[in-house]
Amino acid sequence: MIQTRIETVSILSQLNDELVIDYDTGSVGKTITQIVTDLLALQVSTNPITVGTIQPTVSRAIRVQGDTILGALLKLRDTVGGYVSVDSDHKLNWMNNIGEDKGQQIRYRKNLIGITRTMDFANFGNRLYCYGAGEGDARIKLSDAEGQVEDYVEDAESQAIYGIIVRQLVDKSITHPDTLLAWA
């Protein structure tokens, strides 16, 4: 059996060395382009990454304290979706989709026969109580989001199979209820 180990470092990884002391969009929020521009302006590198093409047009309200620029971008990406990359010109690009659909598929057990999969259910939950910034009654919760009645989101399909499994998730960098709902 041939095993190959590949390790790479992308230009994007330099943002993992750039610290964000305190950044806050305020409760109104900003567009993804504005947030990316603001975060990249905090770089101290002599060869900084600049803003490239940013496709998502939604707004988010976030607060970042003591995280890296890369950490903040990845958490933001988790609420918006898409693909973040840096090209050879040091431009950060955030695309909604990458590639094109030519009908080809790479699928587990179909044409990836030699691949094994291990499922880890240690952090599995199908009723999630999610919280953002704040403490006590001032803590941001899901029911604060527009159109959300409950303090949780749930997946009825997996509940029918596994029963209700409750988990609590907290991300204190989220400062707006709608951002919290998108993250949940």
The CATH classification of domain 11-95, taken from the options 2.80.10.50, 3.55.50.10, 3.40.50.11540, 3.90.1530.10:
3.55.50.10
Contact 144, 177 (CB under 8 A): yes
- pLDDT per position as a tens digit, 76-92: 999 899 999 999 899 99
114-142 burial, b at 16+ Cβ within 10 Å, e below that, comes to: eeeeeeeeeeebbbbbbbbbeeeeeebbb
Residue 8 confidence (pLDDT):
59
> Residue 95 pLDDT more than 90?
yes
User: Is the overall model pTM greater than 0.95, yes or no?
Assistant: no
pLDDT tens per residue across span 120-137: 777 888 889 999 988 888
**Residue in this structure with the two tokens 């470092």, named with its chain if needed:** 9
What is the H or E stretch that residue 129 is in?
A: strand 127-131
Question: Distance between the two ends of the chain, CA-based, in angstroms?
Answer: 41
Tell me the percentage of the chain whose pLDDT exceeds 70.
Answer: 87
* Three-class SS of 5-42: CCCCCCHHHHHHHCEEEEEECCCCCEEHHHHHHHHHCC
Kindly list the domain boundaries of the chain, sorted by start residue.
Answer: 11-95, 127-183
The pLDDT score that the predictor gives to residue 109 is 64
